[in-house]
Amino acid sequence: MDSSSNRVTTLEQFVIQNEQNFPYATGQFSKIIRDIVLASRLINREVNKAGLVDILGLTGDTNIQGEKVMKLDIFANEHMIDALFKGRMVCAVGSEENDDFIIRPDSEGKYIVLMDPLDGSSNIDVNVSIGTIFSIYRRNDAGGELTKAELLQSGAKQLAAGYVLYGSSTMLVYTTGNGVNGFTLDPSIGEFLLSHRDMRFPASCDTYSVNEGHYRNFFEGTKAYLRHIKSVSEVPYKSRYIGSLVADFHRNLLKGGIFMYPGTHQNPSGKLRLTFEANPMAFIAEQAGGYASNGRERILDIQPDGLHERTPLFIGNKEEVLLLENFIRKYGKYGRPVPTLESGNLS
């Protein structure tokens, strides 16, 4: 619980108390968070009982990414979209599960929500932690038809971002650009309670999270960084990889670490989505003292060209991500050394 006070603070109380720090505070933001919380409670309920009902397994369909769609993915997507539009504060929703934006032209809402309704869904059937990722943008005040510039904004223009982790306990972690706070669901009262105030990456970093099964296909800069932390670094690093972005990121946020989903020779742009996954997690990371990069530039500075654009992602403790960037710059995008850059002690 909130260690700074003996009084329990609910998520709703916290949002209302801090809404004056949120740009364009009109009460609409607290309603959007409430709608997301409502949907996440429904998703959490289904996740917890998924083994008892016919909601696990594949639907037989594939999403826009060409991935097999899990039944629980569909449930999460439909309930999140339904909750957001019923709240009437949102005019458009972009989801990893849909080909394009869903726009409600009759909505007077000024906000756009992008989301991955069920991150890590490949782990559903094996009872591993999964999550929901969301980010909130504001459209301009001009009204009228939504423009591409409004729908596809850079991550630096996010007003808020967060994730819900469905694990041994259910947590909601979010930021509005004034630090990161975490709330744990108390199932006995059905409320998210403030449990982690002002979350920050620890100063030290000794954990890396990457699927090393693809090591041979990584570009040389990524390989060189991995060789460095395994054999050159004075402090031995631990390898921890769950395969669920929310779960891996959350552990590294609490314990210190770097999450890596690099590009490969087969997939130079990586496989994670800039708008649904990288941007919201990058916003949270920077607000917690960390950093997020595609290996060459800051994630939040990238202007997306499309809703389902992919990107490599390196995210976690700031100094560690910057170190990795140095290796990638040294070897160049495709693994050829760049002689114009000083290598220093890079391996």
Taking only the tens of pLDDT, the chain with its 347 residues reads: 544 445 789 998 998 888 776 655 567 788 999 999 999 999 998 888 766 666 666 666 777 767 666 688 889 999 999 999 999 999 999 999 999 999 998 888 889 999 999 998 777 777 788 999 999 999 887 667 888 999 999 999 999 999 999 988 999 999 999 999 999 999 999 899 999 999 999 998 999 999 999 999 999 999 999 999 998 777 789 999 998 999 999 999 999 999 999 999 999 999 999 999 999 999 999 999 999 999 999 999 999 999 999 999 999 999 999 999 999 999 875 444 444 333 334 43
Using a 10 angstrom Cβ sphere, with 0-12 exposed, 13-18 middle and 19 or more buried, the burial of residue 190 is exposed
The pLDDT value given to residue 168? 84
User: Residue 241's closest CA among 251, 232, 231?
Assistant: 251
CATH 3.40.190.80 in the chain, residues?
Answer: 207-331
Tell which residue, 102, 136, 170, 150, has the closest CA to residue 15.
Answer: 136
Question: Which CATH fold would you assign to the domain 11-196?
Answer: Fructose-1,6-Bisphosphatase; Chain A, domain 1 (3.30.540)
Output the pLDDT for position 343: 36
DSSP conformational letter for 218: B
- Paired residues of 138 in beta bridges: 111
Query: pTM here?
Result: 0.89
Find tokens 């499309």 and name the residue: 306
**Are residues 272 and 133 in contact, defined by beta-carbon separation less than 8 angstroms?**
no
Q: What is the pLDDT of residue 144?
A: 77
Spatial CB neighbours of 303, under 8 Å, sequence gap ≥ 6: 152, 154
**In terms of Cα–Cα distance, which of 76, 59, 57, 166 is closest to 115?**
76
* Location of each CATH 3.30.540.10 domain in the chain: 11-196
Packing angle of the helix pair 279-287, 245-255 (nearest 10 deg): 10
Q: Domain 207-331 falls in which CATH fold?
A: D-Maltodextrin-Binding Protein; domain 2 (3.40.190)
- pLDDT value, residue 69: 65
Residues 6+ apart with CB under 8 A from 302: 154, 155, 274, 294, 311
- List Cα–Cα distances, 319 to 76, 312, 326, in angstroms: 36, 18, 11
